[in-house]
């Protein structure tokens, strides 16, 4: 079954509690933590994560777009108030990815690794045993509302093949430009976890978009 994560980056920050309530049907709230260095934007930190965790029962998927995320893991984990399902770090941002994943595992939450569009899947081949979720970036990270990169579909399919060949149980997620039109493409390629921001939060009826995304049928191959 497809899991849908509503990306808080697309919400109205002046009415955050209202917008969070509007997406209560989502499986997860996707929270992008940015430091202005790994990506050219600054977003949420521990205080906002703590506030969000205090007003919704929806599990949190934390996407850390920060340099050397290991140094902030304890503070970020504590801010989640027990509602963090998964902490995802970028392979490109970790000098010692293996160690960082071990540290996440020790916190008792699921560990994810995100790959930027230009990052080869070989970066995660030797740490698959520590990963619960692979997040394929289908835009260059840092800003919401970007156009989906079609050339990432073969990459998703290649990751799916790698997992099958290794017998790994990782979940494949996709983040960037996901909407009703692009969702079937990534599902056909092997994704089962969809992060959507603008498509959900900018809709008049977010719950209907979440329902439609969750019922996505794979697109036929050309």
Enzyme catalytic residues:
32, 175
Query: Within 10 Å of residue 40's Cβ, how many Cβ atoms?
Result: 11
d(CA 34, CA 201): 20
d(CA 208, CA 200): 9
Sequence-distant (6+) residues with CB within 8 A of 28 are 3, 4, 5, 6, 58, 59, 60, 61, 85, 86
Instruction: Report yes or no: 190 and 173 within 8 Å, Cβ to Cβ.
Output: no
HSE-CB at 149 with a 13 A cutoff on CA atoms is 17
H and E: helices and strands count for the chain = 8, 8
DSSP state at residue 108 = T
**Positions of E strands within 66-217:** 84-90, 110-115, 133-137, 171-175, 193-196
Instruction: Report yes or no: 76 and 64 within 8 Å, Cβ to Cβ.
Output: yes
């Amino acid at each position: 079954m497809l899991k849908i994560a509503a990306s808080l980056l697309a919400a109205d920050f002046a009415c955050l509690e209202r917008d969070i309530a509007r997406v209560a049907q989502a499986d997860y709230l996707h929270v992008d933590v940015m430091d202005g260095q790994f990506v050219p934007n600054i977003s949420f930190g521990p205080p906002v994560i703590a506030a969000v965790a205090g007003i919704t029962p929806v599990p949190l998927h934390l996407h850390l777009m920060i340099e050397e995320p290991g140094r902030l893991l304890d503070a970020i984990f504590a801010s989640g108030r027990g509602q963090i399902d998964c902490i995802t770090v970028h392979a490109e941002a970790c000098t010692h990815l293996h160690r960082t994943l071990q540290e996440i595992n020790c916190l008792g939450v699921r560990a994810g690794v995100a790959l930027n569009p230009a990052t080869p899947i070989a970066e995660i081949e030797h740490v698959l045993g520590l990963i619960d979720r692979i997040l394929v970036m289908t835009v260059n990270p840092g800003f919401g509302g970007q156009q989906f990169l079609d050339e990432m579909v073969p990459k998703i399919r290649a990751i799916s093949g790698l997992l099958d060949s290794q017998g790994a149980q990782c979940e494949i997620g996709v983040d960037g430009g996901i909407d009703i039109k692009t969702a079937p493409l990534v599902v056909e390629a092997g994704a089962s976890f969809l992060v959507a921001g603008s498509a959900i939060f900018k809709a008049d009826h977010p719950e209907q978009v979440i329902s439609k995304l969750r019922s996505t049928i794979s697109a036929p191959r050309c």
